[in-house]
Amino acid sequence: MLKNLHYNLIIRPEPEGGFTVLVPALPGCVTYGKSLDEARKMAGDAISAYLQSVKKHGGDF
């Protein structure tokens, strides 16, 4: 059964341009986008990859 999971994001503008995104609930889950929209999309991709890795290695989420 698929679940919709929601995660808080910390989106930080970078001085050189673009945005860094951190997912506090998922340690080490960090990504970057050149625009705010790209940063949000990249965050979704990073969360998905993180959860797939946890599942592959037998962890819980």
> In whole numbers, what is the pLDDT of the chain averaged over residues?
94
Quick one: average pLDDT of 28-54? 97
pLDDT of residue 39: 99
Q: Can you give the pTM of this predicted structure?
A: 0.86
The answer to whether residue 40 is domain-embedded is yes
Q: How many domains in the chain?
A: 1
Q: What is the pLDDT of residue 59?
A: 76
Does residue 41 lie within any of the structural domains? Answer: yes
pLDDT tens profile 4-32: 889 999 999 999 999 999 999 999 999 99
Closest CA to 45 of 9, 2, 17, 1: 9
Q: What range does the domain containing 16 cover?
A: 10-53
| Tokens of residue 6, six digits | 């929601």
Answer yes or no: is 59 within a domain. no
Mean predicted confidence (pLDDT) in 20-48: 98
For residue 43, is it within any domain? yes
Instruction: Tell me if 1 is assigned to some domain.
Output: no
Within a domain: 35? yes
Long-range contacts of 21-24 (CB under 8 A, 24+ apart): 21/46, 23/47, 23/50
